[in-house]
A and B are shown apart, each in its own frame.
Chain A
Amino acid sequence: MALTDPGRYITSGGQLSNCLARPPRSHFLSLIHRHTFSRCTTQPEFNRATGCFVIDEAAASTSTTPPLTRKRKLDTTTTSAPPTSATAGAEPVRKASKTKQKQVEQVEAALPATPQTLVSDKPMDSDDEVNSVISSDEFGGDADSSVGDVEDFGADDSDVDFDDLPEHDNFETQEKDLKPRKKAFEVDHKVYSPEDIQRQQDDQVAEVSTLLEQPHEDTAILLRYARWNKEKLIEQYMDGQEEVLDKAGLGQDVQKSPPRIETIDGFMCDICCEDGPGLQSLAMKCGHRFCVDCYRQYLDQKIRGEGEAARIKCPGDGCNRVVDAKSLDLLVRTDLTDRYHQLLMRTYVDDKENLKWCPSPNCVYAIECGVKKRDLTRIVPTVQCDCKHSFCFGCTLADHQPCPCALVKLWLKKCADDSETANWISANTKECPKCHSTIEKNGGCNHMTCRKCRNEFCWMCMGVWSEHGTSWYNCNRFEERSGIDARDTQARSRQSLERYLHYYNRYANHEQSARLDKDIFHKTEKKMTLLQSASNMSWIEVQFLEEASQALQRCRQILKWTYAFAYYLARNNETEIFEDNQKNLELAVEDLSEMFEKPTDQLSGLKVEMMDKTTFCNRRRIIVLDDTAKRLKDGVWEFNVDLNKPV
């Protein structure tokens, strides 16, 4: 989801700016203010007419444009690769790169909730660096660290060392080696190019062709008929060869010779009624003869018009004979056969449960993943394409970890249905809760400071900011109000609306903040580039900003979905662990986001601190993902909806 029109969020004449300064640590704990949600819901000035949310799943993720369009790539494939040349120009099968996350850090379990300043000025490219600089005395050092992390991490990962893992060329080996190290939120997957996919099909056709002693072309038709289920096809074929051939569109041959274009005396075409001398015609093995012009029109209509390929039948009335690729090649021009092979490729991937096309626009790759539909209540299978697009293999929406597919569907539907109600609360102007001056929000950070009265508060809950670092204050948790008369339906429906708005507000806010963070980054980047050219700084000096920006994007995307997740989460003993992890990630993200908005001339001085916070955010992110995924796998979470029920 994305909010459109970022410009709308900057209101003119705002008297406040956010995040002027972080209060010193000693200010924490000094104010106790149990915020109630009604504060947020009763902001009167936000009318629903101005707010308008538009769903756009793709926008939330990092999307890139691959060098070739799918069409172009496919075209070159189909024209250049003969079916049997399995090794010609073979590229090794791509494997998903997981090096970034493959280290298991037991230490994370014991990481305190507040950022550590790590002594390192190396640029960070992986978690490895961090592992080496965290000393053992930091284990379990802070009371704020969530119990859940400690509990759950030790056991199965205890034998892990933190040495660099070598890169493996062979996927098998890597898979085996990584098994105990793989995070609970990661799934094995491979990326295939159109050439790989074509080769897969060719290999299977060749294999089955020998087994059934059928020509290559007919075997391809049989396999397409069987939706590429080899075992089922062979079984059925053994049970009744005639029946399978007939059903697949390879019924009894009337003429034995292979189809070719002929001129036959006295022939009249049943479609166009032409009968002139020299009329070229073709008949497949079923014997139904039509003129070449009619055949061409017919095939064009089927392929271009109806997008049909695997099951184009003979134009004869009631004839079940399937048009084979060889006859097609005789009849039509290459642009149409290209389209035909492209459609066959589509069908192949669509027929295979373990294959899916990357949904990124213009991307030509397909992903293989073993996660089945029935597994989707226990796992959120995020895969990454070679084009860098991360998406859910289960539903092909952009990465929505840690929220299971079923909840994502429910949530998006609910948001669409309730958009009117939700709009006004997430609007981009609010009032200072103390002095009521109008606030504008133009950065991602949610730590606001009123320019007029210096009040520091949280944009999401409007509560006092200083309380956010403490263990008893829960900006992220929805406090059920006790003492509501169960029979009072009005109060109950208001409570349920408030509950929804609590989560929606945070969900939408992270989405919006992610974009504002990005805006700031781009502005800063420009300024830094100017600085660089003026001061001869090397490019690597600002690289840390880009990494911080990326961390913010990824973390906010996860935070966003944790709120959809939490909305459906039924309260049990485990819920607090989730909320603690969520809170800790959120605090880390806001800290980093805040540094991001510092004036450009201060940024280079903040480099080390920012790099540390970036690392910290990423580790917090992994904790949220891993812990949530583990408990999902173990069926520990209870939801107030049925994950198995189709939406």
Chain B
Amino acid sequence: MTAPLPKRIIKETERLQTEPVPGISAQPHDDNARYFDVMVQGPDGSCYEGGVFSLELFLPDDYPMTPPRIRFLTRIYHPNIDRLGRICLDVLKNNWSPALQIRTILLSIQALLGAPNPEDPLNEAVAKQWKENQGEAIKTAREWTKLYAQPKQ
């Protein structure tokens, strides 16, 4: 990475530290300012409550003309997130606007945890279970949260 960091990324990073979003943190790597370690807390009242999910976020060269690349590192049982942690979210694809920011995207992801959408599935098997037996699906999501998404002591 020889090109100097764009003002936009510097500003965004600063603001993430000075005005952190509740339940969300994003920390750039020391050796790569475009690569972030992200933590997102499961929203209260959702089946991911109490879980802390870690994600990786990368800002491509043409950011913000193209959206950041994000994926879950923690295993999660969710109809819009596949086994590789990839996320199906409109603002990360067609509805991306260069005026959107890392913080707004992370908030959208947190909101997605609070409102799974099995009608637009990325993980077919989970979506099917979600539609056919929601109670069972929510139970599994809770179990997975306990199993994989516990905050490190």
Contact pick for B97, options A272, A297, A317, CB 8 Å: A317
Whether the pair A274, B7 counts as a contact (CB closer than 8 A) is yes
- Binary per-residue interface labels of chain B (81-101) against chain A in the complex, 1 for a CB within 8 Å, 0 otherwise: 000000000000001011110
What is the distance, in angstroms, from B7's C-beta to the closest C-beta of chain A? 5
Let me know if B46 is at the binding interface, CB within 8 A: no
Let me know if B29 is at the binding interface, CB within 8 A: no
Complex Cα gap A272–B11 (Å): 10
Chain A residues whose C-beta falls within 8 Å of the C-beta of B7 in the assembled complex: 272-274
Whether the pair B65, A301 counts as a contact (CB closer than 8 A) is yes
Chain A residues whose C-beta falls within 8 Å of the C-beta of B100 in the assembled complex: 317
* Interface residue ranges of B1-47 to A (CB < 8 Å): 6-8, 10-12
Chain B residues whose C-beta falls within 8 Å of the C-beta of A301 in the assembled complex: 62, 65-66
- Binary per-residue interface labels of chain A (267-306) against chain B in the complex, 1 for a CB within 8 Å, 0 otherwise: 0001111100000000000001010001001100100000
Contact pick for A271, options B8, B10, B95, B104, CB 8 Å: B8
Whether the pair B62, A271 counts as a contact (CB closer than 8 A) is no
Let me know if A316 is at the binding interface, CB within 8 A: yes
Whether the pair A318, B97 counts as a contact (CB closer than 8 A) is yes
Let me know if B64 is at the binding interface, CB within 8 A: yes
Chain A residues whose C-beta falls within 8 Å of the C-beta of B65 in the assembled complex: 297-298, 301
What is the distance, in angstroms, from B3's C-beta to the closest C-beta of chain A? 14
Whether the pair B6, A272 counts as a contact (CB closer than 8 A) is yes
Complex Cα gap A77–B65 (Å): 31
Complex Cα gap A595–B99 (Å): 74
Interface residues on A, range: 10 to 19
Chain B residues whose C-beta falls within 8 Å of the C-beta of A272 in the assembled complex: 6-8
Whether the pair A315, B8 counts as a contact (CB closer than 8 A) is no
Chain B residues whose C-beta falls within 8 Å of the C-beta of A290 in the assembled complex: 99
Chain A residues whose C-beta falls within 8 Å of the C-beta of B10 in the assembled complex: 273
Chain A residues whose C-beta falls within 8 Å of the C-beta of B62 in the assembled complex: 301
Complex Cα gap A288–B100 (Å): 13
Contact pick for B104, options A298, A317, A319, CB 8 Å: A317
* Interface residue ranges of B84-133 to A (CB < 8 Å): 95, 97-100, 104
Complex Cα gap A435–B104 (Å): 83
Whether the pair A316, B6 counts as a contact (CB closer than 8 A) is no
- Binary per-residue interface labels of chain B (52-75) against chain A in the complex, 1 for a CB within 8 Å, 0 otherwise: 000000000010111000000000
Whether the pair B99, A315 counts as a contact (CB closer than 8 A) is yes
Whether the pair A317, B11 counts as a contact (CB closer than 8 A) is no
Chain B residues whose C-beta falls within 8 Å of the C-beta of A297 in the assembled complex: 65
Contact pick for B98, options A274, A294, A318, CB 8 Å: A294
Complex Cα gap A290–B64 (Å): 13
Whether the pair B8, A298 counts as a contact (CB closer than 8 A) is no
Chain A residues whose C-beta falls within 8 Å of the C-beta of B97 in the assembled complex: 315-319
Q: Which residue of A lies closest to B9 (CB)?
A: A273
Complex Cα gap A455–B62 (Å): 73
What is the distance, in angstroms, from B66's C-beta to the closest C-beta of chain A? 8
Known A-B contacts A301-B62, A301-B65, A317-B104; the reply to A271 vs B98 at CB < 8 A is yes
Known A-B contacts A297-B65, A298-B65; the reply to A273 vs B98 at CB < 8 A is no
What is the distance, in angstroms, from A398's C-beta to the closest C-beta of chain B? 36
Q: Which residue of A lies closest to B11 (CB)?
A: A273
Q: Which residue of B lies closest to A275 (CB)?
A: B7
Whether the pair B8, A317 counts as a contact (CB closer than 8 A) is no
Complex Cα gap A273–B99 (Å): 10
Whether the pair A271, B11 counts as a contact (CB closer than 8 A) is no
Q: Which residue of B lies closest to A270 (CB)?
A: B99
Chain B residues whose C-beta falls within 8 Å of the C-beta of A319 in the assembled complex: 97
Complex Cα gap A271–B7 (Å): 10
Whether the pair B11, A298 counts as a contact (CB closer than 8 A) is no
What is the distance, in angstroms, from B1's C-beta to the closest C-beta of chain A? 18
What is the distance, in angstroms, from B54's C-beta to the closest C-beta of chain A? 26
Q: Give the most central of B7, B10, B65: most A CB within 10 Å.
A: B65
Complex Cα gap A298–B65 (Å): 6
Complex Cα gap A294–B104 (Å): 20
Complex Cα gap A344–B15 (Å): 41
Complex Cα gap A301–B97 (Å): 12
Q: Which residue of B lies closest to A314 (CB)?
A: B97
Q: Which residue of B lies closest to A302 (CB)?
A: B65
What is the distance, in angstroms, from A442's C-beta to the closest C-beta of chain B? 57
- Binary per-residue interface labels of chain A (165-208) against chain B in the complex, 1 for a CB within 8 Å, 0 otherwise: 00000000000000000000000000000000000000000000
Complex Cα gap A271–B64 (Å): 7
What is the distance, in angstroms, from B15's C-beta to the closest C-beta of chain A? 10
Whether the pair A273, B8 counts as a contact (CB closer than 8 A) is yes
Q: Which residue of A lies closest to B6 (CB)?
A: A272
* Interface residue ranges of A51-84 to B (CB < 8 Å): none
Q: Which residue of A lies closest to B96 (CB)?
A: A317
Q: Give the most central of B12, B95, B99, B104: most A CB within 10 Å.
A: B99
What is the distance, in angstroms, from A529's C-beta to the closest C-beta of chain B? 58
Chain A residues whose C-beta falls within 8 Å of the C-beta of B64 in the assembled complex: 271
Chain B residues whose C-beta falls within 8 Å of the C-beta of A294 in the assembled complex: 98
Complex Cα gap A318–B91 (Å): 9
Complex Cα gap A288–B99 (Å): 10
Chain B residues whose C-beta falls within 8 Å of the C-beta of A315 in the assembled complex: 97-99
Complex Cα gap A316–B101 (Å): 12
Whether the pair A316, B99 counts as a contact (CB closer than 8 A) is yes
Q: Which residue of B lies closest to A294 (CB)?
A: B98
* Interface residue ranges of A303-349 to B (CB < 8 Å): 315-319
Complex Cα gap A297–B8 (Å): 15
Q: Which residue of A lies closest to B97 (CB)?
A: A317
Complex Cα gap A317–B8 (Å): 16
What is the distance, in angstroms, from A283's C-beta to the closest C-beta of chain B? 13
A-B residue pairs in contact (CB < 8 Å), sample of 5: A272-B6, A288-B99, A298-B98, A315-B98, A318-B95
| A271-B8, A272-B8, A273-B6 known, 13 other contacts, Cβ within 8 Å | A270-B99, A273-B10, A273-B12, A290-B99, A294-B98, A298-B65, A315-B97, A316-B97, A316-B99, A317-B97, A317-B100, A318-B95, A318-B97
Q: Which 6 A-B pairs have the closest CB atoms?
A: A317-B97, A273-B8, A317-B99, A271-B98, A273-B11, A273-B7
